Amino acid sequence: MKEKVILAYSGGLDTTAIIPWLKENFDYEVVCVCIDCGQEEELDGLEERAKFCGASKLYILDVVDEFCDEYVMPCVKAHAVYENKYLLGTSMARPLIAKKLVEIARKEGATAICHGATGKGNDQIRFELGIKALAPDIKIIAAWRNDKWTLDSRESEIEYCKAHGINLPFSADSSYSRDRNLWHISHEGLELEDPANEPNYEHLLVLGTTPEKAPDEAEYVTISFEKGTPVAVNGEKLKVSDIIRKLNALGGKHGIGIVDIVENRVVGMKSRGVYETPGGTILYEAHQQLEELILDRETTTLKLDMGNKFAQIVYEGKWFTPLREAVQAFIEKTQEYVTGEVKFKLYKGNIIKAGTTSPYTLYNESIASFTTGDLYDHHDAEGFINLFGLSSKVRAMKHQELENTDK
């Protein structure tokens, strides 16, 4: 019997061409695995395509709820944002995909896992670190880094497929390189490769519209949270994946969550892309608004650092590490009392506060009010300032003393 290879299959031109390439160059039985993280219509016709191209079978695994509950939500709770803008849409999904590839490899008795990520990107790192952490004995084939891979363009891939009797509805005309799941869609390529160019939003956007074309009237939305997890929108109880779907529709309608960034990839180069994350942007903002009421000053300060660290861990593909587990444990502890409701309005790309409530709020009107209350004596501030500024005063006195001595 032939050895089996598990191919991470998206149905796109790259991974479609890899099927006959694996059979021709390695004499493997190719088992394709597509991990459904919410790609929607991109999954249409995949089984027929994979088998037509020579795969023995195709698994399509619906992991949307697992993706949202176990990978998206830790990032939301951490407020993990890479380089201040990127909400980690692609990064979040990769460790789960790697995990499922390994599970199918074990089930099928496969000796290798193949992916179609390029040698310039982050995904090769994320896939391979995940596979190495979960199955160090399984061989990894990175087609684009393999000496036997001689295809360097869409045209050459199409010709390769045709030479193997595969005629599929792929064209050589230029299009954006996209990655989609329930959380977001990313766009790279074409005019975006030059940072001097403005994105062609008319051609580019998939999940929503620009703020200029959004409705002229604001729309109010209320999200309810329990221990940092969203549980309802406008009073309707929903699971996390359905909340994200609902917020995607609302955010897309109002031009929310369109980000144009130049980011630093792990491999060292800069890359420009446009990300649409309408529901995710709303969820991050709502969660942060609620935390403002609940977390104390010291916890807030440390959580900002830990959130940045968590973003770096996820971006670099280090999900299956003790460090990720430790940082996530800290984040989970901070969410113990993050329960309440956040009301806001969506208007032309903006998320505008409209009231936040929590049974665990640390905001005390009697203390915070300009009116003198029973819990705060203005005179207490004098002693606090004296102590808080003592080191500064001592230092200034010393400098003054030295200056007088020198005269």
Helix residue spans in 38-168 (DSSP H): 46-52, 64-67, 73-78, 89-108, 123-134, 154-163
Among 245, 285, 318, 312, residue whose Cα is nearest residue 82: 312
Is 177 tagged catalytic? Answer: yes
Whether 262 contacts 271, CB under 8 Å: yes
Q: Is 235 marked within a binding site?
A: no
Q: Is 11 marked within a binding site?
A: yes
Q: Is 118 marked within a binding site?
A: yes
| Residue 231 CA to its chain's centroid (Å) | 20
- Which amino acid, 41? E
Q: Is 321 marked within a binding site?
A: no
| The residue to which tokens 């003393």 are assigned | 401
Distance CA 161, CA 16 (A): 8
Q: Is 363 marked within a binding site?
A: no
Catalytic residue among 123, 241, 245, 358: 123
Catalytic residue among 69, 177, 178, 271: 177
**What sign has the CA pseudo-torsion 116, 120, 125, 126?**
negative
Q: Is 91 marked within a binding site?
A: yes
3-state SS, residue 97: helix
Q: Is 177 marked within a binding site?
A: yes
Q: Is 126 marked within a binding site?
A: yes
Distance CA 236, CA 238 (A): 6
Catalytic residue among 49, 94, 180, 272: 94
Is 242 tagged catalytic? Answer: no
Q: Is 252 marked within a binding site?
A: no
Is 123 tagged catalytic? Answer: yes
Q: Is 13 marked within a binding site?
A: yes
| Residue 155 CA to its chain's centroid (Å) | 31
Catalytic residue among 14, 36, 179, 180: 14
Is 94 tagged catalytic? Answer: yes
Q: Is 15 marked within a binding site?
A: yes
Q: What are phi and psi of 261, to 5 degrees?
A: -135, 155
Q: Is 263 marked within a binding site?
A: yes
Q: Which residues are annotated as a binding site for L-citrulline?
A: 86, 91, 122, 126, 177, 186, 263, 275
- Residues acting as catalytic residues: 14, 94, 123, 177
Binding-site residue positions: 8-16, 86, 91, 116, 118, 122-123, 126, 177, 186, 263, 275
Binding-site residues for ATP, in ranges, read: 8-16, 116
Which residues participate in the annotated binding site for L-aspartate? 118, 122-123
